[in-house]
Amino acid sequence: MNTYLNHLLFGIYPYIALATMVVGTIIRFEREPYSWRASSSQLLRRKQLVLGSILFHTGVLFVLFGHIVGLLVPIWVFDSLAVKHEWKQALAVYGGGTAGLVSFIGASMLLHRRLFDSRIRANSAFADTGILALLWAQLALGLATVPISLGHMDGVQMVKFMAWANGIFTFNPTASMWIDGAHWIFRTHIFLGLTIFLVFPFTRLPHMLSVPVRYIWRGGYQIVRSRRSLING
């Protein structure tokens, strides 16, 4: 890949995506806090929803946790704990691959409902279907990296990705060099992941950040008025 393009996609674009996600999410919470929810289509058709949702959310939680620990924890931490790179690579491939497959099956069931049930399709916003399709594609790309990773179980490529992620969060201007030369499936997987961060505030995904801790200390009932009722007095 061209050096400039590689730096643009993996040295500059990550900051654009992350900044948009953080700032956009804060603005959305401040301006439209009651939009932080995931609209359910259960009343329209329960079939596939429960099982698909359980598989998707269970698998994706393990995938997210694995990516956070696997990419953002500095390699010296694993080295100091005597965790060999080969062991970490094996856990990422087999553990992450299993979790990814479970999540992919669940996402496939949920996306099938959105696309092939006429009532659900008619009542689904473009953003809802679109983000689900992006997540499905991202999971598919993640699974596609497994056969490639099996070809280099020494963990060398994994360490390069860790160096890239750590470089981004420590503002290393040469971080993108660690991605240069990686297989196109890995690069596409990373780019699509960054794109999901970019569109995060404009989708239903912010609901994953909502933890009902305020219910512990809130007093009484909440009165929620629509914007129209406020305008009409």
pLDDT digits (tens, 9 = 90+) for 79-101: 999 999 999 999 999 999 999 99
Per-residue model confidence (pLDDT) at position 231: 53
SS3 content of the chain, % helix, strand, coil (to 5): 75, 0, 25
**In the predicted structure, residue 169 carries a pLDDT above the cut 50:** yes
The pLDDT of 223-230, averaged and rounded, is 50
What does the pLDDT read at residue 220? 46
The neighbour count for residue 165, using CB atoms within 10 Å, is 21
Pairwise pLDDT comparison (95 vs 115), residue with the higher score: 95
Residues 6+ apart with CB under 8 A from 63: 96, 99, 100, 103, 139, 142
Q: Mean pLDDT, the chain, as a whole number? A: 85
Indicate whether 200 pLDDT > 60: yes
Name the more confident of 96 and 44. Answer: 96
Q: Assess whether pLDDT exceeds 70 at residue 42.
A: no
Model confidence band, residue 160 (pLDDT cutoffs 50, 70, 90): very high
In the block, tokens 């420590």 appear at 170
Predicted pLDDT at 126: 83
> What mean pLDDT is predicted for residues 199-203?
92
Tell me what pLDDT residue 43 has.
Answer: 42
Tens-place pLDDT, residues 12-35: 999 999 999 999 999 988 887 666
**Amino acid at site 226:** S
CA within 13 Å, CB half, 153: 8
Q: What is the CATH number of the domain that holds 15?
A: 1.20.950.20
Residue 2's pLDDT is what?
A: 85
Domain that holds residue 84: 3-231
More confident residue, 72 or 213: 72
Q: What is the mean pLDDT of residues 166-190?
A: 95
Q: How many domains does the chain have?
A: 1
User: Please, are residues 40 and 124 in contact by the beta-carbon 8 Å criterion?
Assistant: no
pLDDT tens string 140-149: 999 999 999 9
SS (H, E, C) 18-53: HHHHHHHHHHHHHHCHHHCCCCCCCCCCCCCHHHHH
Mean pLDDT throughout 90-118?
Answer: 93
How far is the C-alpha of 72 from the C-alpha of 84, rounded, in Å?
Answer: 17
- Predicted pLDDT of residue 226: 52
